[in-house]
Each structure stands twice: as C-alpha cells, then as structure tokens.
Amino acid sequence: MSYDLAIIGGTGLYQFPGLENIERTAVDTPFGPTSAPVVSGTFAGRRIAFLARHGEGHSVPPHRVNYRANVWALHHVGARRVIGVNAVGGIRDDMGPRVVAVPDQVIDYTHGRYTSFCDVDGAEVKHIDFSEPYTASLRADVLAATARAGVPVVDGGCYGATQGPRLETRAEIARMRRDGCDLVGMTGMPEAALARELELDYACIALIANWAAGCGDEAEISLPEIFENLRVATAQVPKIVAAMLG
C-alpha cells in the first residue's frame, strides 16, 4: 500500500481533522513501539497516513519519543513523502506567535537520543549527506500549497533542536541566535535525519507558538497563550495539506 503523503503531528495535532475512512494500524517495529498507531484514511480525495508524535493524549515528552520506530513505521506502511509538523518558539523578528514557517536548515543541540538506524548491531553504516536536511522538492510543494491555500508563510530559517521538555533559558536562546537559529523546538531531530536514512522525502511545517526566552515583548512565557497560539496556527495545516493534494 502507498500513500500520497504522511503527516507526523506535533503538540496540538493529535488527530488529523477531516480524515475519512479511517483505519488504525499498530505497527510492530524492530525499534519498539511507536508513539501511537498509524492512522490512515482519505483526505481531499487522496490517501494519507498520520502519526501523533507525542501520542494521542500527549503522553510522550520530546526526549522520550521513539523517533526511529515512528519513522520506520511510516516507511513500512508505504509512505514515501513525510511532513513533520512541529510546535516551535520564534527567535527571529519575523517569526512571532501564530506564524507558519517552512525551515530549510537545522542545528541539533539534543543529546542521548537514538539518532540513527545504524545504532543496532549488524546494521549497515550509512553516512548520509545532510547538507540540506529537508527535501527541496517537498519543501517547494509545501510552499506552493501555502500560496494556493492563502496561508501566509515564512520561507526558510534555521530550526534549533533542543532536548526538552523544559523551555530554554534566555542565555541559551541568545547563544542559539548567535549560532544562526531562527526557531527553537524539541522534536525536529533526529526525525529529519532518520527520514533521510530511509530515503524518505521530508519537510517541516513549523507552527510558532511563542516567542523564545528573551525574544519579543513578553517578560514571561505563558502556557495558556502557547496553546491558544498553537490552536490558531494548527488550523492552517489541513488547508496546506488539502492544497498539496488537490
């Protein structure tokens, strides 16, 4: 079986709105259980697959997500193009709350995660080219879809992936800004690299939930505001996907 697209949903996106003819598949992977069953169905007349990165009840924190199982499962069921939807904080001045961005670079600050399918005895060692961490053709498709759907989007930017689940200090964000990061999130890696190892097309839709520490005008990050901003931004995702599939 094949799918026109697979979506990995982040914080605030635990089911895919408008999905019809739903089937749920618990995939047995060599890397343990996935965060949630793979949910497949019809959307905009096309078959897509969906997987909730944090579980359907947000029970899995970012540093405990079984990224290998999730990516392997989507590949196993026939997905070849994958979009990761990620809730992030904004660092750059044009990346404030409720903005949708499609980053083109990554800096990985995570630690202690299984970052490769090579981390298994006897596995083939793959040295992937990761100069461009997101697939150019799929990024272009996402950006073209945002234009057709009338969804404002920021094209490009560097995603800084941190360990979580805590938010970052002002000093950490200041360092990330100096490093060239425009966005900060906790789930962008190793997901993108694992997709590359399996030769999946992969792109990220980043939903900006809040200003990162020390950015914007807010003296303190408010969790209720984060979730309201995410609710608004997440509503754009089905529009983008429908435009991609139309």
Q: Tokens for 181?
A: 């990061």
| Angle at 159 (CA atoms; ends 2, 235), nearest 5 degrees | 60
> Going by DSSP bridges, is the β-strand pair 46-52/38-43 parallel, antiparallel, or unpaired?
antiparallel
Q: Is 72 annotated as a binding residue?
A: no
Q: Is 25 annotated as a binding residue?
A: no
Cα–Cα distance measured from residue 135 to residue 199, given in angstroms and rounded to the nearest whole number: 10
201, HSE (Cβ side, Cα atoms, 13 Å): 16
Q: Is 66 annotated as a binding residue?
A: no
Q: Is 110 annotated as a binding residue?
A: no
Q: Is 42 annotated as a binding residue?
A: no
Q: Is 212 annotated as a binding residue?
A: yes
Q: Is 46 annotated as a binding residue?
A: no
Contacts of residues 218-227 at CB distance under 8 Å and 24 or more positions apart, as own/partner, are: 221/167, 225/97, 226/87, 227/12
Q: Is 75 annotated as a binding residue?
A: no
- From the list 215, 187, 11, the residue with the least C-alpha distance to 94 is 215
Q: What does 115-171 look like in DSSP terms, one character per residue?
A: --TT-STTPPP-----SS-S-HHHHHHHHHHHHHHT---EE--EEEE---SSPPPHH
Contacts of 28 (CB under 8 A, 6+ apart): none
- Could you tell me which residues are annotated as the binding site for substrate? 186, 210-212
- Could you tell me which residues are annotated as the binding site? 11, 53-54, 186-187, 210-212
- Could you tell me which residues are annotated as the binding site for phosphate? 11, 53-54, 187
